[in-house]
Structure 1
Amino acid sequence: MTAEPTTTGGAGAAPLLAVRDLTMAFPGRRGRTGGRGAPVRAVDGISFDLAAGETLGLVGESGCGKSTTGRMLVRLLEPTSGSVTFDGRDITRLSQGALRPLRRHLQMVFQDPHSSLNPRQTVARIISDPLLVQGWSAGDARRRAAELMELVGLIPEHIDRYPHEFSGGQAQRIGIARSLATSPRLIVADEPVSALDVSVQAQIVNLMERLRRELGLAYVFIAHDLSVVKRVSDRVAVMYLGRIVEIGDKKSLYDDPRHPYTRALLSAVPLPDPAAERRRERITLLGDPPSPAAPPPGCTFHPRCPKAQEVCRTERPLLRIADPGATREVACHFPGD
């Protein structure tokens, strides 16, 4: 039986966000005869909790279902099955009208800052739009937008400029300001720095960390760069082919990864010490990830796993506590070294 997802909240504290058995299956492609192929299970039954003020990093290769998960959390995509409970209320099947008052507490920051901003609107309108939807007057919304620009490190006097007049890093700050407009409790950040230069990435990460401390925000931070995830996260969940294969506090996961896939991902992260970089083992995975339209039986990682045995080919491993008294969960028949 799958272990109950854990959080870093206090004993008995209800999670801010509770995800249970969440799945997303997209229709298969149409064939030449008009029929559809097998559905693509982009997310295949994931569960986790998130405490108030906590950051959960969600990592994995491209196509593993990270971004799809993030969009389901804020109801930009409708899940095929499972549930998302926010602050004690199941929001999975709420109508758009019933969901609207809750949206002020659930916001998202997107990967490409320029494509997520309307090029025909001024920054004032972009940031204040969520407030206008919530019933704010135009004057109050504009004043709030100027305050938010200053909060994220932009010049309020530039409020009437258009997105193309800002650099990539500045545009992402505008996106962050927009997400903060309604004073949310949870922000889903979908690869928020991957489209930026390395020097600008550090500035945005530092900004998000400061905002979390000052505003008490919780983040689901989606990324493929494990060094960035380590910098911002309290806990980390590793996804492979739509499933979480390992989840736990970042220190134990980075210091002692238990799933072979986690070990392979971490072995590719550059080390700042050249001597240590030369000494360590680099784990190279064979082949490409299988198609989510036709996943292999048993453990979906077994075709690429150097430790795979017969049980891995026939029986799907469930997330379970890795060690007695530990909070880390691993979906592997043979976790550890």
Structure 2
Amino acid sequence: MKPTKAEPLLSVRELTTTYPGRRRAAPVRAVDGVSFDIAAGETLGLVGESGCGKSTTGRTIVRLLEPSAGSVRYDGRDIGHLSQRELKPLRKDLQMVFQDPHSSLNPRQTVARIISDPLLVQGSSAADARRRAAELMELVGLIPEHIDRYPHEFSGGQAQRIGIARALATSPRLVVADEPVSALDVSVQAQIVNLMERLQRELGLAYLFIAHDLSVVKRVCDRVAVMYLGRIVEIGDKERVYAAPAHPYTRALLSAVPLPDPVAERTRERITLLGDPPSPAAPPPGCTFHPRCPKAQAVCRTEAPLLRIDAPGGTRRVACHFPESL
């Protein structure tokens, strides 16, 4: 579903999340000035290497973590600094699907209780919540008669369906999906992706789809945001980002995605990045990507690039002094 030009459903501006350092260690700025919008019914993919701050961004948006700075506006209202009491009525509209389905489900609770809990918190009766849980099980492709089973009695794909059903219990408008298929077998991944696409069409959901698998992101997302060391370095429509990546980091990520054509796979350019990502507790000065960037020059070592529009009238933004497409 393509994004509309209306007021965005979610608007994130200069979001920063800092973890305090242990003992005398320096604090870790896991998310560093992140900004993006998500329209109603749109899917924004958030990609990058492990440890770049993707999951922290998602958890901060739904207030599982507290933001250190910046704003999170949902449907025009700043929710980043609401009290838990003020936030409670809005939680039904903002839900999350976690990466590991089994670790995110309480092993001591039945599926009925797991799916019903969000409804009970919002004030539904036990009978209505159980009835809704059975409907949701059928909606996500599970057998309603299994409602009194425990999580360990389900496979990984079935457990993820339970997590999705729980997220949908309160009829949310925005779902943060944190690596929802990375812990599953490839065949099961396809089933879950198809399920999420169908639910989006039927329910009009918006997704923040966090992943490191760029093939899955290309399939399900309308736009893509690429993160590196807590910052967004490129964001734009997926067709343009995948066809002509502007940031050297984006080019390197896409060069690692296998191609189905053996000839194209053998002849294409492969970009190998040097070294490992720097520690977010001690990021390098200037552009944080410059120690690994094949195009780095003197200005990259001293001046952090701004996330700017890559062409007049364009919508893609790139944080690079020497982007590829310019």
Global fold match (TM > 0.5): yes
Tell me the distance in 2 between the aligned counterparts of 1:24 and 1:96: 18
- What's the TM-score, normalizing by structure 2? 0.98
- Indicate which of 268, 281, 289 corresponds to 1:293: 281
Q: Is it true that 1:281 corresponds to 2:276 in the alignment? A: no
Q: Helix, strand or coil for the counterpart of 1:327?
A: coil
Query: Map of 1:29-68 to 2, 5 A cutoff?
Result: 29-30=22-23, 36-68=24-56
Instruction: Note the C-alpha offset of 1:81.
Output: 0.6
**1:307 partnered with 2:295:** yes
Q: 121, 124, 131: which is aligned to 1:143?
A: 131
Please name the residue that 2:248 is paired with.
260
Q: Percent identity?
A: 85
SS at match of 1:211: helix
Correspondence for 1:26 among 3, 19, 27: 19
Distance 2:133 2:289 in 1: 47
Match of 1:92 in 2: 80
Separation in structure 2 between the aligned mates of residue 304 and residue 8 of structure 1, nearest angstrom: 34
Shift of 1:25: 1.1
Equivalences for 1:145-294 in 2 at 5 Å?
145-294=133-282
Hey, what's the Cα distance between the residues in 2 that align with 1:25 and 1:149? 38
Q: 2:3–2:40: 8 Å Cα contact kept in structure 1?
A: no
Q: Which residue of 2 aligns with 1:9?
A: 4
Partner of 1:334: 322
Q: Which amino acid aligns with 1:231?
A: R
Aligned-pair Cα RMSD in Å: 0.8
**Pick aligned residue for 1:132 from 116, 120, 145:** 120
Counterpart code for 1:18: S
Query: 1:9 is aligned with what amino acid?
Result: T
Runs of 4+ more than 6 Å apart: none
Structure 1 stretch displaced more, 320-329 or 98-107: 320-329
Equivalent residue for 1:101? Answer: 89
CA separation in 1, counterparts of 2:115 and 2:262? 44
**1:214 is aligned with what amino acid?**
E
Q: Which amino acid aligns with 2:283?
A: P
Q: CA deviation at 1:122?
A: 0.6
Match of 2:67 in 1: 79
Aligned length: 324
CA contact 2:3–2:41 (8 Å) conserved in 1: no
Query: Normalising by the residue count of structure 1, what TM-score does the alignment of the two structures yield?
Result: 0.95
Q: Specify every segment of 5 or more residues in structure 2 that has no aligned partner in the other structure, as ranges.
A: none
Shift in Å at residue 8 of structure 1?
A: 3.5
Distance 1:242 1:177 in 2: 30
CA shift for structure 1 position 305: 0.3
Which secondary structure state, in structure 1, belongs to the residue aligned with residue 305 of structure 2?
A: coil
- Structure 2 counterpart of 1:3: none
